[in-house]
Chains A and B, each alone.
Chain A
């Protein structure tokens, strides 16, 4: 084995040997679908992977030996979970593989299909059964069947079967055929398996016979007898289970820790059909692992939390990225137990209690982790990545995990210099200048400020006096005007919008006059009267301007609103004419 990548010191100092990395292994799987088992009883553990294929087709049961693929079996449906377990006492003691998929468990022995278990069907709504019976005997037509099923769906305690639900979705013309096709078959309500695990029957030995524990979509947990495949116990949960951890022996005492889809974790025990304890998390559990008597949960909110068996919170650690998967790392020969946490930042963190003791960088986001004996090597870490890669690492026998304290001293940022600009000579000079002349500067500033204010005030007064503003402030003729220029040129349309803002008094005897450069523009009427202005209404007044120049220059046209008999305008508007872009016709 040689280091696949990375530098030499890392190879020397690292804790892991890179045994194998196949980035194109094309595996789409999860931690629940990976198992290490001695399938042939030859003391060499194989890697069994339930591959989801494309997610809808090409599902495979793959077995790896060493770095190569040993065998492949086609699966009919998506594998939900995969366990290896000893079914019986026969020699040689080779474990069977159970693949949970849909409502079935496929059991393989020696990698050959051996048995198929089907989940017990759920209770069927009696009313629904009646209705379909009537349909079978052609006593009701499809439309009334639909009506009756509809009413059952709305108030029934027991939900309808898939068949009835599908029927309710159909268009009326397809109903007849559907009823004829299905009416002869018995109604069945099936549920699917969501997770699977094993539980030792009556001995704690490594090679003792185990029962299968399955969680279903119907919020139940079943324990199956390994030989007869009968249901030994059925327990109910408040929500659909997603992950399980099982410990103990079925005949003595056992404990099933179940993470559920409602974000809670329940603890089931022998002889209690209902959960004994409940841990309510603030976010969904992504990974669930038991270490000794404690439960470690990786939450979707980027935290790792430790609980006692009875659900008391022990600790919380913040993670740098969302959790993708979790697994336990158990080295019984060294008495070492820790939790492997795969993160979305392409790292795998190793935690012992709340202390981070090691970090493994991976080339891709890890989606499944499995630690155990592979081949003849006890400490092997198997990971698959989001891109479908397969990584195998072997723990060095010299590797030591020391329990560092989780508090890493002062944060790094504390030693980063503050970004404060340097003192420049210019700044110092200016400071000195101010120190020496502050009084003069202040006075000059105050003086200039006063001048500025004066100038502004003067300009304002001037504007008011000569009515340069577009609003007339005089009490007798409160007017408002704005102007719009339309057209590309050389002729433009000028629209003046005039409004009398008085409350009730109309304004009369007004005229408009234009002032412009006659060499540039011409207007047909540069002076005209405007009608009586009723208060509040807007009067658009159009006039046309011809641009005489073709040199691409423009000028200002001034508009004055005048009152008969007075030379000072009431209002003034300056119109910035646009450059004429068109050419005169002649």
Chain B
């Protein structure tokens, strides 16, 4: 090999002259520019890459397998999947022993939606090289998108392949897919386990952290959920999903300023997100900036006109602003979109009461009572309406219903709002029902607890008081968990539902002088969970005065 010839002649005439009669030109090696093609391809310099490929294919008359391969990859990136498929197939003909060609054929088939064909080709590729995690991973993905979750066979095949891929090589992608498969087959525990293992393997992957956080949120493990969401935000402070989820948790804890800070970041990243503007709106609402709240909510409504939650909140804010006519429109639109929520009808009834449309208000309450199974506020408000209009019998009936619900909730260790308690007691005395003492004591207890719950909010991550104990949050979450959309918007939504309107009525009954103060925005202490209470009262002077007279 090492022939020490004169180097000059060597360089000038590179072809060895062996003295044969017809000097045959040396044929270029087809692979000679592969490295250059690859170099440009991985640097995403596709234009230059295509030029080189073209040149190379001309030179080799289409024999260069790698050039065709990269050409197909680029075509696929440009969205021409069918063409890329054809090129990959020709690669596979040029070199049938290369599993990469088959893998890419299958990938293109997958992208074209031909999942079954893709699975077959992947199996072919797997025969050439069984130790390839990518083949197993992609097989798992194919099985999981066949969308036949009732078919146990397909699901288990997907799981099997993904697990095989994980055993060969741990990749975040595989973990995510496997988790998704478990979630789709409604096996939440397994999904949590998978994500846990994934987070352990790559602790800085924000997508995994967020997904796990949201999963914990759904399961009601708020401490863990917040931990993971917080971690996700440390690594990527502008992660939209994590911000929304963490923000809504903060909102539920009354930590509105911190939540707003986070939302501001999200608003830069995703400026047209309906749930984000909804949550921002409810933050403003909690801070008593009603006009800002309305404009944010209206933006959310504009962005997503058929979202009943936004409509619900708009109705609520307008009730607070004593714009009953507008509130009525938003609420009736919301009931059209979501006809099975008792609280919505209750709010509608409150609006109607204020619009002096008593017949419809009563009908709306009846609907609310029929639909709601756990919220004593619905019955309380109805009872007040009935009582104020002289229907003591009906009021008593509703009162008994309240007691039933309260007793039911007491078993599950729910804390009640103090104003609700007071009001219910007043109602009891007015109706001359004696046993109200039964639940006054727990009421006082809860009041105390609420006060203390307001304190640790800012240290959510490391607070000694576990988040899970906050029953309000839990309830809000679980009620929200039933819907199929992202978790975040529900949370913020459900918060106002619970406390606001009924409190408004009840406090109105007790102490009318407090009302104007609140309407003008004077801050009240201990506003952790019940920020939006009083304003509607002001608009209901008639109700109040009447009821007072009667009560007195």
Are the CB atoms of B38 and A434 closer together than 8 Å? no
The closest CB in chain B to the CB of A120 belongs to B1
CB-CB under 8 A for A113 and B7, given A162-B29, A411-B237 = yes
A466 close to chain B: CB less than 8 A: no
User: Would B204 and A181 count as touching, CB distance under 8 A?
Assistant: no
Size category of the B interface is 35 or more
Give the residue name and chain of the A residue nearest to B354 (CB): A438
Asked if A195 CB lies within 8 Å of chain B CBs, one says: yes
A407 at the interface (CB under 8 A from B): yes
Indicate which residue in B11, B238, B271, B357 contacts A76 across the interface (CB closer than 8 Å).
B11
Asked if B24 and A182 make an inter-chain contact with CB atoms under 8 angstroms apart, the answer reads: yes
Chain A residues contacting B35 (CB-CB under 8 Å) are: 80, 192, 194-195, 217, 240, 242
Which one of B27, B45, B55, B62 has the highest number of Cβ atoms from chain A below 10 Å of its Cβ? Answer: B27
Flag whether B476 is at the interface (Cβ < 8 A): no
Cα–Cα distance between A149 and B475 once the two chains are bound (Å): 76
Q: How far is the CA of A439 from the CA of B10 in the complex (A)?
A: 103
- CB of B1 within 8 A of CB of A418, answer no
- Asked whether, in the complex, the Cβ of B292 is within 8 Å of the Cβ of A420, the reply is yes
Which residues of B have CB within 8 Å of A421? Answer: 295
Given contacts A413-B269, A434-B326, contact A192 B2 (CB under 8 A): no
**Contact, CB under 8 Å: A300 / B29:** no
Residue of B nearest to A424 (CB): B291
| Contacting residue for A102 out of B1, B32, B55, B268, CB 8 A | B32
* B325 in contact (CB, < 8 A): yes
The residue of chain A having its C-beta at the shortest distance from the C-beta of B328 within the complex is A442
Say yes or no: B265 contacts A442, CB within 8 Å: no
Residues 447-484 of A contacting B (Cβ, < 8 Å)? none
Which chain A residue shows the least CB distance to B280? Answer: A418
- A113-B8 contact, Cβ under 8 Å, with A190-B29, A418-B264, A442-B328: yes
B136 to chain A, nearest CB (A): 13
Check A414–B264 contact: CB distance below 8 A. Answer: yes
Task: Report B-chain residues with C-beta under 8 Å of the C-beta of A229.
Answer: 1-2
Q: Which of B100, B264, B268 contacts A262 (CB 8 A)?
A: B100
Given contacts A115-B7, A217-B34, contact A165 B63 (CB under 8 A): yes
How many residues of chain A have a CB within 8 Å of chain B? 83
Expressed in whole angstroms, the Cα–Cα distance for A434 and B318 within the complex equals 11
Residues of B327-355 at the interface with A, using a CB-CB cut-off of 8 Å, are: 328, 354-355
Minimal beta-carbon separation of A409 from chain B (angstroms):
9
Task: Give the chain B neighbours of A323 by CB distance below 8 A.
Answer: 43
| Inter-subunit contact B323/A282 (CB<8 Å) | no
Decide if A116 touches B355 in the complex (CB within 8 Å).
no
* Residues of chain A within 8 A of B284, CB atoms compared: 420
Distance in Å from the Cβ of A112 to the closest Cβ of chain B? Answer: 8
Q: B267 at the A/B interface (Cβ < 8 Å)? A: yes
| A536 at interface, CB cutoff 8 A | no
Q: Is A583 among interface residues, defined by CB-CB distance under 8 A? A: no
Any chain A CB within 8 A of the CB of B514? no
Distance, CA A417 to CA B261, complexed state (A): 10
What is the distance, in angstroms, from B131's C-beta to the closest C-beta of chain A? Answer: 10
CB pair A434 B323 closer than 8 Å: yes
Are A438 and B1 within 8 A (Cβ)? no
Partner of B43, one of A324, A419, A431, A441: A324
Contact A55 B52 (CB under 8 A): yes
**CB-based nearest B residue for A446:** B357
Contact A30 B39, beta carbon cutoff 8 Å = yes
Interface residue from A118, A180, A262, A280 paired with B169 (Cβ < 8 Å)? A280
> A540 within 8 Å of B by Cβ?
no
Q: Contact between B356 and A439 (Cβ–Cβ < 8 Å)? A: yes
**Contact between chains at B265 and A423 (CB < 8 Å):** no
Query: Is A514 an interface residue, CB under 8 A from the partner?
Result: no
Q: Could you tell me the distance in whole angstroms from the C-beta of A354 to the nearest C-beta in chain B?
A: 9
> In the complex the two chains form, is B355's CB within 8 Å of A438's CB?
yes
Digitize A23-44: 1 where CB-to-B-CB distance is under 8 Å, 0 elsewhere: 0000000100000000000000
Q: B110 interface residue, CB < 8 Å from A?
A: no
B324 close to A282 (CB less than 8 A): no
A505, CB-defined interface residue at 8 Å:
no
Chain B positions within 8 Å of A166 at CB level: 27, 61, 63
Interchain CA distance A184-B19 in the complex, whole Å: 11
Which A residue's beta carbon lies closest to that of B296?
A420
Contacts of B280 in A (CB 8 A): 418
Which A-chain residue is minimally distant from B329 (CB atoms)? A445
Residues of B within 8 A of A1 (CB): none
Q: Is the CB of B10 within 8 A of A113?
A: yes
- Taken residue by residue from 46 to 87, chain B's Cβ proximity to chain A (1 for < 8 Å, 0 otherwise) reads as 001001100100000111000000000000000000000000
- Which residue on chain A has the smallest CB distance to residue B25? A181
The closest CB in chain B to the CB of A367 belongs to B43
Q: When the two chains form the complex, which single residue of B10, B44, B52 contacts A116, counting CB atoms closer than 8 Å? A: B10
- A242 near B33 with CB under 8 A, answer no
**Cβ proximity bits A314-333 to B, threshold 8 Å, 1 near / 0 not:** 01101000111100000000
Contact partners of A445 in chain B: CB under 8 A = 325
Cβ of A516 within 8 Å of any chain B Cβ, yes or no, is no
Within B261-320, which residues are at the interface with A (CB < 8 Å)?
261-265, 267-269, 271, 280, 284, 291-292, 295-296
B271 to chain A: closest CB distance in Å? 8
Please tell me if B20 contacts chain A, counting CB pairs below 8 Å.
Answer: yes
Contact with A along B350-367 (1 / 0, CB 8 A): 000011110000000000
Name which of A192, A286, A414 has the most chain B CB atoms within 10 A of its CB. Answer: A414
Please indicate the chain A residues that have their CB under 8 angstroms from the CB of B354 in the complex.
438-439
**Which residues in B have their C-beta under 8 angstroms from that of A410?**
237, 261, 265
Q: Is A230 interfacial (CB-CB < 8 Å)?
A: yes
A344 interfacial by beta-carbon distance below 8 Å: yes
Write the nearest CB–CB distance from A52 to chain B, whole angstroms.
8
A316 pairs with B204, CB closer than 8 A:
yes
Bound Cα distance A318, B207 (Å): 13
Expressed in whole angstroms, the Cα–Cα distance for A104 and B31 within the complex equals 14
Contacts of A118 in B (CB 8 A): 1
Query: Given the interface contacts A300-B42, A322-B43, does A434 sit within 8 Å of B2 by beta carbon?
Result: no
Contact A106 B325 (CB under 8 A): no
With A191-B31, A438-B322, A439-B355 as known contacts, state yes or no: A261 contacts B38, CB within 8 Å. yes
CB-CB nearest in chain B for A298: B42
Asked whether A411 lies within 8 Å of B22 as measured between CB atoms, the reply is no
Which residues of A lie under 8 Å from residue B545 when comparing CB positions? Answer: none
B28 / chain A contacts, CB cutoff of 8 Å: 162
Q: Note all chain A residues with C-beta closer than 8 A to B10.
A: 113, 116
- Establish whether residues A286 and B325, one from each chain, have CB atoms under 8 Å apart when the complex forms: no
Q: How far apart sit A396 and B510, CA to CA, in the bound complex (Å)?
A: 76
The residue from A191, A194, A230, A322 contacting B29, defined by CB atoms under 8 A apart: A191
Could you tell me the distance in whole angstroms from the C-beta of A1 to the nearest C-beta in chain B?
A: 32
**Does chain B have a CB within 8 A of A228?**
yes
Known pairs A106-B11, A182-B24, A414-B265. 8 more at Cβ < 8 A?
Answer: A56-B55, A113-B7, A166-B61, A242-B38, A315-B204, A435-B323, A439-B355, A442-B355
8 A-B pairs closest in CB distance: A413-B268, A194-B35, A284-B42, A442-B355, A438-B324, A113-B7, A229-B2, A413-B265
A-B contact pairs, 18 of them (CB 8 A): A52-B36, A56-B55, A104-B14, A116-B14, A166-B27, A192-B32, A192-B34, A192-B35, A230-B1, A280-B171, A313-B202, A316-B202, A316-B204, A411-B237, A413-B268, A415-B264, A431-B323, A435-B321
